Structure 1
Amino acid sequence: MVKRPMCLLCFLMVLSLGALELMGIPLIRGNPLPLNVQEQIEAHPGSMICGEVEQYENTEFSQSVYLKKTYLIHQSKKFPIENVRIFFKKEEDLKPGMRILVKGTLKRVEGPANPGGFDSQHFYACRHIYYFMKNAVLQKKTAVYSGYRQLLLEIKESCRQILKEAAGKDAPVFCAMTLGDKQELDPETQMRYQLAGIIHILAISGLHISILGMGLYNLLKKMGLGIWPAGIFSLGVMLQYGIMTGGSVSTMRAVTMFLIAMGARITGRIYD
């Protein structure tokens, strides 16, 4: 293992996470918010919260918005509560980077309803989301927003429209595989993929990133670019792709591994 530093690093990381878990410092599950903040939320679930819009999804029945750098406001006091996913009754004109003030009902993310079922509490804890806000009503919003992140969302929407026109009824599957967008995917289709044991295909992971990233890298090299320009350009594109598709844990893990592999290649550790 000494001759394989990456394996040693991963092993030490796992040991560190386990040690912190035993010490009562959960990093990837549970509710690490201070006890007084948890008690405040439980006592006043209808208080206002303020946060920065990270991304949003429009569905048929509601608008889902992810907030970061969020804090609870009660009697002029602020209590940090990390990230929150909120659901608006009606669609609001929001853009990434905006700071908004909303009022609604905060509710703890629930665990699996049945043994062996999907653990949404653990899933959202990996994104540092421990509470949902249902029936949210927008109170105020700022005019300032992130033009860069808004551009990524517009590119994603353009790609979705292209897939809808090109793939027809199979567009939801292609959107899930390439854009990380499952909002229009039929539950029956998901069940079929799950029963076939290939549900992972619908989540952007190492398979997708390696095909797209290495395909782009090899294409640029065939066009005459050297190893360094082609590698650096591919790294940049795949990093933006990971952010554009939502930045899920599996996606960013795959992008990170691609960055490591490509970095080793362009620095001469791996030869073509």
Structure 2
Amino acid sequence: MRFADFPFLRYLPFVLIGVFWGNSNGAPDLMVLSIILILFWLVYLILVSKQEKGRMVFQPSYLAYMALIFFGALLALFKQQQTDVSKEILYSQSYLAEVVAYDQQKPNSFENLLEVKSIFADGAWKDAQGKVLIYHQNEQGLKPGHVLMVSKSPEQIAAPLNPYEFDYRQYLARQGIFFRQFIGKDFQVVDSTAGVGFEYFLVNLRHDIGEMLKTKIPDENAAQIALALLLGQKKELDPTIREAYTQAGVMHILAVSGLHVGIIYALFILILKPLKLKKEKARLYLLFVIFIIWLYAFLTGLSPSVVRAATMFSLLTFGQMRERRPSIYNILAFSAILMITINPDVIYEVGFQLSYLAVLGIVMIQPLILNLWLPRHKILEYIWQLTTVSLAAQLVTFPLSIYYFHVFPTYFLIGNLLILPLAFVIMQVGVPLMIFGWIPVLGDALGWALSWLIWTQNWVAEAIRLIPGGKLDRLTIGFSGMVLVWGILLIVASWEFGSKRKLAWLALTLIFLWSTFQLYSELHSPSRELFVYQGKKSQLFDFSNSGEIYSWNQGLEAGEISYSVDPNRVQKHWSQTPKSLLVHELDSGKLDFIVADFSFDPKHKRLQFLKAPKSIYSWSDGEWVMMPAQNTLEVDSVAYRILF
């Protein structure tokens, strides 16, 4: 097995480097980058033509790799330019926009999404583009295709105020949404004609199927799971059910992913052999399978994992039509390059990262685990294969899961062994229900069967949740730790193919570098530091003094602490319930903190230090930014970190 045999796997790293470069501050202008890229390809073509004539003077592959880097940077810059163009919506007096989704019920309003078509600014209408997340209170509801006139400009979604807080702005930006607005009833429906075209056809079809599932499935909780499992609609999931599936380690089955596409693919491929079709008819049938896969992908919203799986199974099917078996590594890399070309920001999505890591784990690690035991009975072999797939996927993805979510499901293996087979059966019933649910008797029967199957699956997930120690939470891992785990796994996977001496030295090097990084971080950890967190109306202080953690809360509620404060405490390995920071209230109304060298004026939101701190940082756009050290500090805008 040679690395040169996987061309797309060789191309992918260079495209990724280009995207990271394009998103950095050091990338050149879009026009300059385009000209350089064209020149690179012209020189490359000239060198290739000379190579064919036997007059090669330079290896053209290096130019091709450089061109891929510039191509990735161009994709990233083009995406940024689209974002910059849409910002003109902020300066409009009013705008016309088209509704692109169905209403989502919220506690006091309805949520929907608008696609801006034109804006009114400086006394004239002009074309514009951009997406606005709106909240309205129109009881009649909005439907895809409706055109609205909104008389006020939207607001830009604010960045998180506190360190490591969930970045809702970035989450929406990955979907191309940069603005939101509460419009209440202050808008006018200019055109109520239903939207036309393939996109609106899919939106309406998804909505109709969802409504049909709700009517055909008698159990309400089962209907919620069906919407999530079959259509990827998780917004209506009950929090208790969501927690049960999370602790069982099978939350991935409720997010439409490669697993679901694989089940649909297997369903149609298994039918092929009994049909005994001739060669030409078999090819037509396989083309039909590809169409079904992509129809399902579009129907469920084209999530990264679904697109990856649909691309992979399409390429495998094309290979089957040509009686060839393409490399799984090439297919993975090609699908990643395709998705990055369409949307370069997809590489930052957790679903994209977890999806590709899981497949890589199954391809590289699962055969090694599988060979550790060879069961004699078919049932044991099936259970062992399912176990090895779960172990391989979990081994590779757990560092990233801990990095993002700080939770590890203890009983993931039990959950996968019990719930995944049920999910497979549910899909076998659910897909026919989606297709034939409108037939009265058949639809009712399939709905009842699906409801019973999902009730059983929910019962299993809830039973696992009730087992003590169902999850390990508040876990952390740094980037160096993830690199160490993945490096060791790669070494294990390559042990039989590479030089064992070199691989052993590589493992020792990784461990040494990780240990050095950990020691450096520990030595440079400050002995005394203060964090000031911002709530909606007040502040909370966390003060670290030689390993002892103290806290003072001005009025943040438990939910707000969990959302805004706890993420930083997890990153710092601090307790969820630190000691109280003792305070003495002075006659002036100022608060004097006894174990710390500062006081606080709640009225003017001002910190006063006995002496200037070593350094002060403010939280801005996902990182700490150094500020001038001073004796006083206004703390009414964002989070601050003060080192003494």
TM bucket by the smaller chain? 0.7 to 0.9
Counterpart residue number, 1:109? 157
Count the aligned residue pairs. Answer: 267
- Is 1:155 aligned to 2:205, yes or no? yes
**Secondary structure of 1:270's aligned partner:** coil
Q: 1:209–1:140: structure 2 CA closer, same or farther, 3 Å change rule?
A: same
Counterpart residue number, 1:243? 298
Is the contact between residue 59 and residue 183 of structure 1 (CA under 8 Å) also seen in structure 2? Answer: no
**For residues 133-154 of structure 1, what are the alpha-carbon distances to aligned partners after superposition, in whole Å with 9 as ceiling and x for unaligned?**
2225234126362154454344
Is the contact between residue 264 and residue 270 of structure 1 (CA under 8 Å) also seen in structure 2? Answer: yes
Is the contact between residue 95 and residue 116 of structure 2 (CA under 8 Å) also seen in structure 1? Answer: no
CA distance in structure 1 between the partners assigned to 2:7 and 2:112 by the alignment: 40
Counterpart residue number, 1:4? 6
Counterpart residue number, 1:140? 190
Counterpart residue number, 1:72? 119
Counterpart residue number, 1:177? 229
Counterpart residue number, 1:166? 217
CA distance in structure 2 between the partners assigned to 1:112 and 1:254 by the alignment: 33
Q: Which amino acid aligns with 2:267?
A: G
Higher percent of residues as helix: 2
Identity of aligned residues (%): 24
Q: TM-score normalized by structure 2?
A: 0.37
Counterpart residue number, 2:245? 193
CA shift for structure 1 position 4:
0.9
CA distance in structure 1 between the partners assigned to 2:243 and 2:161 by the alignment: 18
Q: 1:100–1:120: structure 2 CA closer, same or farther, 3 Å change rule?
A: same
CA distance in structure 2 between the partners assigned to 1:153 and 1:54 by the alignment: 8
- Is 1:256 aligned to 2:311, yes or no? yes
Q: 1:234–1:104: structure 2 CA closer, same or farther, 3 Å change rule?
A: farther
- Is 1:90 aligned to 2:138, yes or no? yes
Counterpart residue number, 1:270? 325
CA shift for structure 1 position 172:
0.6
Which stretch shifts more, 85-94 or 239-248?
85-94
Larger Rg: 2
**Secondary structure of 1:243's aligned partner:** helix
Q: 1:242–1:40: structure 2 CA closer, same or farther, 3 Å change rule?
A: closer
Q: Which residues of 2 match residues 7-22 of structure 1 at below 5 A?
A: 7-22=9-24
CA distance in structure 2 between the partners assigned to 1:28 and 1:250 by the alignment: 24
- Is 1:210 aligned to 2:256, yes or no? no
Where does structure 1 lack aligned partners over 5 or more consecutive residues?
none
**Secondary structure of 1:56's aligned partner:** coil
RCO comparison, higher one (Cα < 8 Å, 6+): 1
CA shift for structure 1 position 95:
4.6
**For residues 203-230 of structure 1, what are the alpha-carbon distances to aligned partners after superposition, in whole Å with 9 as ceiling and x for unaligned?**
1111111111232233245334544222
- Is 1:34 aligned to 2:64, yes or no? no
CA distance in structure 2 between the partners assigned to 1:258 and 1:57 by the alignment: 33
Is the contact between residue 29 and residue 125 of structure 1 (CA under 8 Å) also seen in structure 2? Answer: no
Is the contact between residue 163 and residue 171 of structure 1 (CA under 8 Å) also seen in structure 2? Answer: yes
Is the contact between residue 177 and residue 204 of structure 1 (CA under 8 Å) also seen in structure 2? Answer: yes
Q: TM-score normalized by structure 1?
A: 0.78
CA distance in structure 1 between the partners assigned to 2:131 and 2:115 by the alignment: 4
Q: Which amino acid aligns with 2:100?
A: E
Q: 1:33–1:123: structure 2 CA closer, same or farther, 3 Å change rule?
A: same
- Is 1:54 aligned to 2:100, yes or no? yes
Q: 1:259–1:30: structure 2 CA closer, same or farther, 3 Å change rule?
A: same
**For residues 219-248 of structure 1, what are the alpha-carbon distances to aligned partners after superposition, in whole Å with 9 as ceiling and x for unaligned?**
245334544222211221222222222333
CA distance in structure 2 between the partners assigned to 1:223 and 1:53 by the alignment: 45
CA shift for structure 1 position 155:
3.5
Where does structure 2 lack aligned partners over 5 or more consecutive residues?
29-72, 327-644
Q: 1:55–1:39: structure 2 CA closer, same or farther, 3 Å change rule?
A: closer
Q: Which residues of 2 match residues 225-236 of structure 1 at below 5 A?
A: 225=277, 226-236=281-291
Counterpart residue number, 2:526? none
**Secondary structure of 1:50's aligned partner:** strand
**Secondary structure of 1:219's aligned partner:** helix
CA distance in structure 2 between the partners assigned to 1:28 and 1:182 by the alignment: 32
CA distance in structure 1 between the partners assigned to 2:294 and 2:300 by the alignment: 10
Is the contact between residue 62 and residue 91 of structure 1 (CA under 8 Å) also seen in structure 2? Answer: no
